[in-house]
Each structure stands twice: as C-alpha cells, then as structure tokens.
Structure 1
Amino acid sequence: MINQFRKLNPVNLIFLLAYTFFMRVAIFYETPAHLNFDFLEPFARLLINVDLDNAFSAQTNIFIAAVLVYVQALIFNRIVNNHNLLGKPSFLPGLMFVTGTSLFMPFMTLNPALICNFLLIWIIDKFLKLGKSANSINTVFDIGMIIAIGTLVYFPFMGMLLMIFLALLLFRSFNWREWVAGLVGFITVFFFLAVFYYWKDNLSSFYQIWKPLGNKFPSVFKINYNDYLVLIPVAVIIILASLQLRENFFRSFISTRKSFQLLFFMFIVAIVSFYLKPNFRTWHFLLCVPPGAVLLAYYFSNAKKRWFYETLFLLFVLSVQYFLFV
C-alpha cells in the first residue's frame, strides 16, 4: 500500500477516499446515539449566531467529518508536495493525514479542532513561504488574522500565535515590523469583536474571554493508559522517522531543515495548548495531526526495505482498527 501511495498517481485519489471511509468502519458500526457539534466558542456566538449543535444526525455528522478529512488530506498533500518537504511528490502526506485523524473515535466526528485544521493547514503553507518572500509583513498580518478566526472557533487555537515568532526566528532576519504585524492582525479581529460587545452593552463579558489565559498548567493528569496504547505504533514510526531525518538532516536544503524544525515546534504547541480549555476533549489533539503527518510521511517516503515498511504500516492500521473496535 505504501508503495502505491509513493507515486503521484491520480488513481490514488480514489484509493485515498476508500481508505478514509475504511478507517471509519468502527464508528459507522457503533454509531453513537447523538453527537453535538459546537461550531463556535460561546463568546463568538453573540457575533455569529449559528446553531449547529443538533443540526445533523449522528450518521450525517460522521459522514460530513469523513468528507472534510478527505478534502483536508488533499489540500495538505498538495502543500507538502509544493514545498518539496519529502524530496519527491507523492500521496503519502495525505495517507498519513487520514491515518492520524482516525486514531480515536472522537477524531472522527465534527468538532471545532477539525474545522481549525483547515486554518492550520493554511497557515502552515504561509509559514513555509516566509523564507521565499522579500517582504513578509502582509503574510504575517494575514497569519495573525487567521489565528484570530480560529480562536473564535476553538479558543486553544490561540496558542498558534507563538508559532508566528518561532517562524520569524527560523525564516527571517529580525524586523520589528514583521513581529508586530502578526499581533496587529490578531488584535484586529478581536477589536471588531470588542466593538460589537460594546454595541450590545456587554463589554464586561468580553473581558471574560481571556480568563483561560490565567489558568495554571496542570501538574497532575488523569489518564487511562489503555485508551492510548494505539499511540505505541505511532511512537515507533516517529522514532524511526527522527533517525532517518537525522541521517539526512545536513544533506537536506536549509529551507527543508527549517521547515521540519517549524513543524516540530508546531506539534509541541498543539499539544500543550490544551490547558487553555479547562474542559478540553480528546479531539483537541487533531491539531497535532498536520505537523505529525509530515514526519510519518517522511519515514515512509525514505524507508528502503519494502517488506519492513509495508509490514509496519499494515500493523499500524490493524492496531488502530483493533483499538477502535475494542
């Protein structure tokens, strides 16, 4: 299967679509009785009053989520290939993206993190273009606005603001205007939101939006480790990918090295930003999928022994299906 997706063959569009629904067999087999879809954060509903909580049946919810994942995988695959992160074009990024979004049942439903992944993929593309642009102030401003829009959908997405400064450190020489542009872009969106709150004579509620920023990072975690055994194959592949990347690191283009460093930091930021939401759900970690999928794709793109990487991927898929059913 890996060998098939190593080729940039149009027939893989059909295979990827079939694979997307195959990985969701478990949730279609055991469809929950009811699924909520909180499209926006409560503080944004005063501005955009769209109630989709009970708009879809459970089956429709899952089906739409699968279609969105497929579309995201295609966009993501194109961006990774355009920036030549794997050295040669393939459908592996899309394949790994779909696999990553199928690790847990909550990943397979409509949720704010799934919607934010469209924005995350978009800003990944813009980040990777920073080093190729003579004047990136407009790009950084746009990224700030995109992050603000994502924050309206899912508050922890605000953590991606940190990525603006990390990206500028990696790709650009210091220019204070670029550093300020991202913050101005972010503030612009919330300035208009504040004006709307003021117009509605509800400015005190606007201040409540920022209370989660005062949360202390949790020191104790209640984790049922059996629920996360499926991550063992992921960890094995990431370790192999890291070794492969280390071996080729100094033989890669400088822009490629910086791109992988950026994606690594994005992966970490996506994980730790959960503390911005006191009652976060497992689907929060969908934000880790785009940067993580590039690393997984890198391993399978550069692995040499076909029998090993094909067997490894097969075991990975089977373990995901096993834990989803069990």
Structure 2
Amino acid sequence: MLLRTLKGRHSILLVFVPVIIILLWLGTFLNPVSLTMGQTQMPLYELLLFLTGGSNLVLNIIASVLLVLIAYGMVRLNEQYIFIRQRTDLPAFVFAFIGTGAISLGGMHPSLAAAFLMFLAIDNVFKIYQGTATLAKSFNAGLLLGLATLFYLFAGVYIIWLWTALAVLGYLRAREVLAGLMGFIAPLFFAFFWYFWTDGLGAVFQAISGLFSVNTDFASISLFQFVYWGILGFLVIMSSIYMLTVYEEKKISSRKYFIVLLSFFLFSAFSFIFFGGSGVEQYFISIIPVTYITSHYFVLQKHSWIGEVFFYILVLSSISIHFLA
C-alpha cells in the first residue's frame, strides 16, 4: 500500500520528492507567468527579480528548489525533535503534494521565499527549548523573520508568533524577547537605511502601501480549487482531533512543539482574515504546520485502512487539481 510504503524509513524514496514537484509543476515550467502582477514588491524580492533578470522560468526553478529544500527539511526537523513519534519520510511527500496543490500559486512568489526562511526560524525556535544558546537562537529566529519580511510584507506579523512560541516553551523572558526583536529589526534597519541613503525610501513606502491595498480576486479561483482546499481542511480537522486524543500520551516537548506549530497555523489564518493584501499566498506558509499535523495522523492513527483511504484521496486530488482547475 502507498501510505505504508511512504511512511516507512526508506531514504532512497526521497529521490522521488523533486520528481513529484517537477511533474506536478510541469505546466509552471512550460508556461511560466509572473504571480506578482507587476506589483512592486519588498526589497529582497525586488533584488531577486533584478538578479534573475525578471525571468519567470528562472524564478520558477528557484521556487521548485525551495519546495524541495523545505520538503527535505520537514524530515530532518522531525528526526531532530521527534514531533511524530516515529522516524518517517512521509512529511516530505505530503509537503510535495500539497505544496504544489494551489494552481494560482504555481511558481515563484515572495511568500514562498518567506516560507523557507520562516521554516528555518521554526527550527531555531525549537532549539530554544533545549536550553542552550537561547539568546543566539532567539536572535536568529528574529533575524530570519526580519529577512522573510523583506521578501513578503505580511511575514512581519510573525514576530508576535515568536513571542508566543517563547511563552509556550517557557522562555518568555526579557532577554530572549529583546534578542528576537533585535534580530527582527536588524535587516529591516539596514534595508531602510540603504534606501534612505539612496533616496529610495519613498518608493519603499509606496510599495508597502500598494501591497496592503491588493485584494485577492476569489472569483478567478475555480470551484475545483476550493474543493481541493476543502479536502485539505477536512484532513486538518481530522488530524487535529486525533492529535487532541493522544495529546496527553506525548512527551512534554512534543506537546509544546505541537502548540508552537498550531499557533503558527493560527497566525497564518488570522493574517489571511485581517490583512486583505495577504491573499491566498499565505498558503505556502500555512502548509508547514499542516504538513506535520496531517503526517502525524497518517503515520500514527490505528486504523491503517482509513489512513490509506484518506492518503489516496489526498494524492489523487493533488494530482487531479492540475487537470481540473
């Protein structure tokens, strides 16, 4: 059975992760288009556009590399912190399928670059709980969130998530909070100082204002895409309910990691609701915790045939959406 095979520990199968991403994004490579609609973006994404010559194909290749790196990072993060009480490669495959499942986000978007940096920030946040170099890890997490904000404006909200995570992990102390804040401010300060020095600060504020005013055209999103997101939503609900039933059985560290991931997902949902400009591109960010929560369910739920059925539904819908939407 497919799920039984993929939830095992067969590292050789990981070579199929980039293959899955490339095949599901084949249309993205054959007909590359810009996902930012000519809208001026945050400084680091504008720099990326300059370095790539604005080539949509090159940008989409970079996007696929970022997806692969996050997918592999999912496996490494679980092995290091044992969020799922089993060594498994499944998170990489789950991320590969759902990461390519938003047709309107087929290719490079500032939020994907931000999601990669925010994934690294999660790694640093988890390391804080180990109790070593907490100031450095707090600073690094804040720094990564600051860099993410220079790619994608609405990533800045997650500095509040960092403080929330510190509270969950028992490190909401003045020095860790300040270290995270200093790390967050540092790249923003240097970026704005550079633009001030080069008389480009007005253009940056204009870009920020423009990004706040952009609204997602939901009418342009197909019914099949909403159905697919509905399937994901159902799996998230099922997986969360299962997580709650086994919550008391988990180690204290695993419980805290779960709450940190859940809060990360909630911040993504709140950003989507309260910031109209954030749009559906929050998808790239929100699927990081979604991958772990659903993978946890697929790996550990007791009725194997139910897991197989739901996993087949996820895989088949992730493939068929590219032909229907």
Describe the shift of the 1:280–1:165 C-alpha distance in structure 2 as closer, same or farther (beyond 3 A): closer
Counterpart position of 2:50:
51
Counterpart position of 2:247:
249
Match of 1:151 among 149, 152, 155: 149
Describe the shift of the 1:267–1:199 C-alpha distance in structure 2 as closer, same or farther (beyond 3 A): same
Describe the shift of the 1:307–1:65 C-alpha distance in structure 2 as closer, same or farther (beyond 3 A): same
Give the deviation of 1:316 after TM superposition. Answer: 1.9
Counterpart position of 2:68:
70
Give the deviation of 1:86 after TM superposition. Answer: 0.4
Counterpart position of 1:297:
295
Give the deviation of 1:263 after TM superposition. Answer: 0.5
Describe the shift of the 1:17–1:203 C-alpha distance in structure 2 as closer, same or farther (beyond 3 A): closer
Cα distance in 1 between the residues matched to 2:63 and 2:133: 37
Counterpart position of 1:7:
8
On the 8 A contact 2:95/2:291 being kept in 1, the answer is yes
TM-score, with length taken from structure 1: 0.85
Cα distance in 2 between the residues matched to 1:82 and 1:252: 16
User: Is 1:112 equivalent to 2:115 in the alignment?
Assistant: no
**Greater per-residue helix proportion:** 2
Counterpart position of 1:91:
89
Cα distance in 2 between the residues matched to 1:288 and 1:271: 8
Provide Cα deviations, 1:98-147, integer angstroms capped at 9, x if missing partner: 12212211333111122122211101111111111244112111111111
Q: Name the aligned partner's letter for residue 141 of structure 2.
A: I
Q: Name the aligned partner's letter for residue 2 of structure 1.
A: L
Describe the shift of the 1:196–1:255 C-alpha distance in structure 2 as closer, same or farther (beyond 3 A): same
What is the number of residues matched between the two proteins?
A: 320
User: Is 1:198 equivalent to 2:196 in the alignment?
Assistant: yes
On the 8 A contact 2:60/2:107 being kept in 1, the answer is yes
Cα distance in 2 between the residues matched to 1:249 and 1:42: 41
Cα distance in 1 between the residues matched to 2:56 and 2:45: 25
Provide Cα deviations, 1:142-190, integer angstroms capped at 9, x if missing partner: 1111111111111111111111111110112442111111111122222
Cα distance in 2 between the residues matched to 1:289 and 1:20: 15
Give the deviation of 1:259 after TM superposition. Answer: 0.7
Match of 1:179 among 177, 180, 193: 177
Cα distance in 2 between the residues matched to 1:49 and 1:185: 22
Q: Name the aligned partner's letter for residue 255 of structure 2.
A: R
On the 8 A contact 1:126/1:139 being kept in 2, the answer is yes
Structure 1 stretch 18-27 or stretch 87-96: which is displaced more?
Answer: 18-27
TM-score, with length taken from structure 2: 0.85
Cα distance in 2 between the residues matched to 1:76 and 1:284: 18
Give the deviation of 1:208 after TM superposition. Answer: 5.4
On the 8 A contact 1:138/1:181 being kept in 2, the answer is yes
Counterpart position of 2:101:
103
SS where residue 132 of structure 1 aligns? coil
Q: Name the aligned partner's letter for residue 12 of structure 1.
A: L
Give the deviation of 1:52 after TM superposition. Answer: 5.4
Give the deviation of 1:8 after TM superposition. Answer: 1.5
Give the deviation of 1:61 after TM superposition. Answer: 4.9
Cα distance in 2 between the residues matched to 1:46 and 1:65: 12
Structure 1 regions of 5+ residues with no counterpart? Answer: none
Give the deviation of 1:39 after TM superposition. Answer: 12
Give the deviation of 1:282 after TM superposition. Answer: 2.9
SS where residue 88 of structure 2 aligns? coil
RMSD: 3.2
Provide Cα deviations, 1:277-298, integer angstroms capped at 9, x if missing partner: 6544533321111111000100
On the 8 A contact 2:154/2:278 being kept in 1, the answer is no
On the 8 A contact 2:121/2:142 being kept in 1, the answer is no
Cα distance in 1 between the residues matched to 2:193 and 2:61: 38
Cα distance in 2 between the residues matched to 1:41 and 1:292: 30
Provide Cα deviations, 1:188-246, integer angstroms capped at 9, x if missing partner: 22222232233224555565576589x79x9x995668231112221222222122211
Structure 2 regions of 5+ residues with no counterpart? Answer: none
Cα distance in 1 between the residues matched to 2:304 and 2:311: 11
Cα distance in 2 between the residues matched to 1:206 and 1:115: 19
Give the deviation of 1:36 after TM superposition. Answer: 5.5
Give the deviation of 1:19 after TM superposition. Answer: 2.7
Q: Name the aligned partner's letter for residue 249 of structure 1.
A: Y
Cα distance in 2 between the residues matched to 1:56 and 1:205: 23
Describe the shift of the 1:138–1:293 C-alpha distance in structure 2 as closer, same or farther (beyond 3 A): same
Cα distance in 2 between the residues matched to 1:298 and 1:182: 29
On the 8 A contact 1:85/1:256 being kept in 2, the answer is yes
Give the deviation of 1:270 after TM superposition. Answer: 1.9
On the 8 A contact 1:128/1:259 being kept in 2, the answer is yes
Structure 1 stretch 243-252 or stretch 316-325: which is displaced more?
Answer: 316-325
